């Protein structure tokens, strides 16, 4: 299971999904709500939560795309009972903290992994949205 805003899907997101899929056989992607994206990133996403969810659902590598919750995040994770949670290289959550909170919702056996960046200077939503990138 992975989490993110996934605003303006780009090759970095696809690589994130591919890396996560290597750690399991069923990939669940939780797309952040508009409210949470604004809270975490300090700005509204370019595309609303339903549009972002629809785009992620179109990715063939994704087995299931769901809309995240605005609160009780670990209960949201418990609804899907993932064996592994993959964090992006730049996500704010710390592996140990996530593991501890997962235990509190009955997911003590869920592994938490930090994935590697794709091409940090090219394939990051902030970079794609703020400057021209030569591909």
Q: Rounded to whole angstroms, how far apart are CA atoms 1 and 91?
A: 14
Give me the residue spans of the domains in the chain: 2-130
Q: What is the pLDDT of residue 121?
A: 59
**Whole-number Cα distances in Å, 133 to 88, 116, 128:** 21, 21, 7
Q: What is the pLDDT of residue 124?
A: 52
Full strand arrangement of the beta sheet holding 64-67: 2-4, 28-31, 64-67
Which stretches in the chain have pLDDT values below 50? 123, 127-135
- Fold for domain 2-130? Rossmann fold (3.40.50)
pTM for the model: 0.87
Q: Which tokens go with 89?
A: 């290289």
Span 40-69, pLDDT tens digits: 999 999 999 999 999 999 999 999 999 999
Those residues with Cβ within 8 angstroms of residue 106's Cβ, 6 or more apart along the chain or in another chain? 78
Q: Rounded to whole angstroms, how far apart are CA atoms 88 and 92?
A: 9
């Amino acid at each position: 299971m992975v989490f993110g805003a996934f605003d303006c899907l780009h090759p970095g997101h696809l690589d994130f999904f591919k890396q996560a899929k290597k750690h399991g056989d069923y990939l669940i992607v939780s797309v952040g709500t508009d409210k949470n994206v604004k809270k975490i990133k300090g700005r509204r996403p370019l595309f609303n939560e339903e549009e972002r969810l629809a785009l992620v659902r179109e990715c063939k590598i994704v087995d299931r795309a769901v809309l995240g919750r605005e609160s009780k995040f670990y209960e949201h994770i418990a609804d899907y009972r993932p064996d592994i949670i993959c964090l992006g290289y730049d996500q704010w959550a710390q592996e140990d903290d996530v593991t501890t909170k997962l235990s509190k919702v009955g997911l003590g056996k869920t592994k938490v992994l930090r994935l590697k960046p794709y091409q940090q200077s090219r394939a990051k939503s902030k970079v794609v949205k703020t400057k021209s990138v030569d591909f």
